[in-house]
Structure 1
């Protein structure tokens, strides 16, 4: 990334949005044309048609996966995977204590019990040692999640799952395009999931998700489960109790239209994140900790700092015209929706510390160099003032 002359740390003419409202503006004409094309297609297939099949093929070949199954959302992708693995009532799934609600909700919705494990203090991803301590005779799967800028330690999780004879579900919803070693995010376990909600790195103007796997039999079951238990050979013949989690043909066509630009969008995010990390490295002694440097195993869905004076930093950035987000204000077992699943007497001090300190700043690919520099200057000026 080129580094322009540093801006004065004052509010910009217009606030710098955390997620820009014009994500798809350059593709507006193409999107409108695709809506018309799908609407007038003689096949009248608006879900799970040939465009969906083509997008599955493109993803499969780009990843080197055995199969890719598109579905209604990243959340439903997790539920479909767990259901296809015959996980249900009486079973336990170990999940991180810090993360997005679907980590727990997907387990609960299929009748199983989420067991919460603490996280790594710096990267905020699941801690393999903490997850191993949560394993009981009822445990059926481990479900680590990649977070913000860093993939979880998948080599250790793979070894851990094999050692205990458990299924490994990789929540890679935010990590599409990330690679650890030579293995893409999503392909370390029995199955991984992606989310295409608009703000993700490969987002689209709507809901959608994908399941990636090397297990052909698992993929076959997933295709039935996403479509009311039908196997595609004959309509209205239901082989299992499924659900409606089908992919939209307009969205599939739009994703095919934009997919060639995905590497460039990822690279722009990575360059911005690398610049931030370099600029913020000296701030660790001032109570502001950036993600660890490097490119391997990195995803840049959002860029999160850990700040001892998080609320004051957030107010400072707001005053400078920089929008921020807090992911997540409470650990999952502290949320009223999931508290009853927390084991009595258990604590998650690292997850609690992350909730108190985390602050996300913009890292999307549409940021200009001047905006990036203004954001970095604004964070640095807060530290200087301390």
Structure 2
């Protein structure tokens, strides 16, 4: 890392697409002036689906309106509904629970691994009942869930496996890309994701061609794409924008370089933070299989103090999930009264995320790491003085 410095580092970069403004304007112009006047689900969307399918060696990729919508479409295509249960992590983003509830099923919350923060396979298996139809593990921050164990569990218990890989594009585990371990997976393209764009969007990834056919119909009111106003299923509106498809096709060539820069920054952070465990700060491991460098998250015993210290030194941070899903007012009615998920509750109390985006320069990255280490050093001194 070099030694250039800065003292004001936002968590959500306001200039993510500054270098791509001309390409975005060109995508708007090309779409708006094309003879076909096709603004959704046109040839650019089809080319993006094919490009991602070939990149992943997937059977099919279906573009839709968001990562959340992608999960909803998968559950609908699997005909999961009233009377069914889906096992989900107790710690994570709202769509893990809301998409299940939205289809009329019940989310059953399982505790997470204390280090990886992804759903614990043993806890998930303990949560399986006669009404369980599916497992929905999620990759979290920068670590993939233990998908080989979930794949085995789903096979043994006759369950569908829905892989919430919304944030994990670019991650691989055992040589298999994130999104291809389940019966179906998803990616989100909301702007801060690894393949983000200036709008909403996502895809369903699957090796099941029959499931993909159902998803394609469901995203467009149950139509088959050939016969307009012939509705085979009760569907919804979850279509992809042609301007964004053109923009994503342009940005796809640079994705590997952006992912590599994220990995480089993550490795630097983890190397610097590895000695800080005694100061109550736990960092993700350096590199390794099953990493996806979307968000860099620490677990800190004095999280709020660390956050204030970083803010005082010009570093913006973010706490993604300050509550467990069962503790959210929207989802609490679906959780057993008085139940606890200790690892999820600990993660909600301790997690803090640092800036991680490809155009952070070396000086900014060093400043962030130096500031965290300085906080840990002061904690060590206080402990020694007692």
TM (normalized to structure 2)?
Answer: 0.97
Matched, 1:340 2:338: no
Counterpart for residue 151 of structure 1? 144
Aligned residues of 2:117 and 2:140 also touching (Cα < 8 A): yes
Q: C-alpha offsets along residues 313-359 of structure 1, whole Å, 9 cap, x if unaligned?
A: 00000001000000201000000010000023321010000010000
Contact kept, 8 Å, 2:107 with 2:334, in 1: the verdict is: yes
Whether the aligned pair in 2 keeps the contact of 1:310 and 1:357 (CA below 8 Å) is: yes
Task: Give the corresponding residue for 2:21.
Answer: 28
Deviation at 1:233, TM superposition (A): 1.1
Give the CA deviation at 1:139. Answer: 0.2
For residues 172-222 of structure 1, the C-alpha deviation after alignment (integer angstroms, 9 at most, x for no partner) is: 000001000110000001000000000000000000010000000000000
Structure 2 residue 206 is the aligned partner of structure 1 residue 213: yes
User: What secondary structure sits across from 1:334 in the alignment?
Assistant: coil
Aligned residue for 1:255, secondary structure, equals helix
Matched, 1:307 2:300: yes
Q: Is this contact kept in 2: 1:6–1:377, CA < 8 A? A: no
Instruction: Provide the secondary structure at the position in 2 that maps to 1:333.
Output: coil
Asked if residue 4 in structure 1 is aligned to residue 22 in structure 2, the reply is: no
- Residue 3 of structure 2 contacts residue 362 of structure 2 at CA under 8 Å; is this kept in 1? no
Asked if residue 176 in structure 1 is aligned to residue 174 in structure 2, the reply is no
Aligned residues between the structures: 379
Task: Please state whether the residue corresponding to 1:366 is helix, strand or coil.
Answer: coil
Q: Counterparts of 2:79 and 2:192 in 1: how far apart (Å)?
A: 32
- Of residues 84, 91, 101, the one that matches 2:94 is 101
Contact 2:263 2:287 in 1 (8 A): no
Equivalent position to 2:246, from 227, 247, 253: 253
Q: Where do 4+ consecutive residues of structure 1 move more than 6 Å?
A: none
> Could you tell me how far apart the structure 2 residues matched to 1:278 and 1:66 are?
38
C-alpha RMSD of the superposition: 0.9
Asked if 1:52 corresponds to 2:45, the answer is: yes
In structure 2, C-alpha distance between the alignment counterparts of 1:207 and 1:94, rounded to whole Å = 27
Give the Å deviation of 1:300: 1.2
Alpha-carbon separation, structure 2, partners of 1:38 and 1:155: 42
Counterpart in the other structure of 2:115: 122
Q: Residues 88-125 of structure 1, C-alpha deviation per residue, up to 9 Å, x if partnerless? A: 00000000000000000000001100000000001111
Q: Give yes or no for contact 1:178–1:185 (8 Å, CA) kept in 2.
A: yes
Counterpart residue number, 1:200: 193
Query: Which residues of structure 2 form unaligned runs of 5+?
Result: 380-386
Q: What is the match of residue 365 of structure 1?
A: 358
Runs of 5+ unmatched residues, structure 1: none
Equivalence for 2:383:
none
Deviation at 1:154, TM superposition (A): 0.3
What is the alpha-carbon distance in structure 2 between the residues aligned to residue 181 and residue 261 of structure 1?
Answer: 24
The aligned counterpart of 2:55 is 62
Deviations 1:246-265 (A, max 9, x none): 00000000000010000000
* Cα separation, 1, equivalents of 2:308 and 2:201: 34
Partner of 1:321: 314
Q: Is the 8 A contact 2:4 2:362 kept in 1?
A: no
Contact residue 65 and residue 239 of structure 2 kept, 8 A: yes
Q: Does 1:138 align with 2:136?
A: no
Aligned-pair distance for 1:295?
2.7
Rounded Cα–Cα distance in structure 1 between residues aligned with 2:210 and 2:3: 56
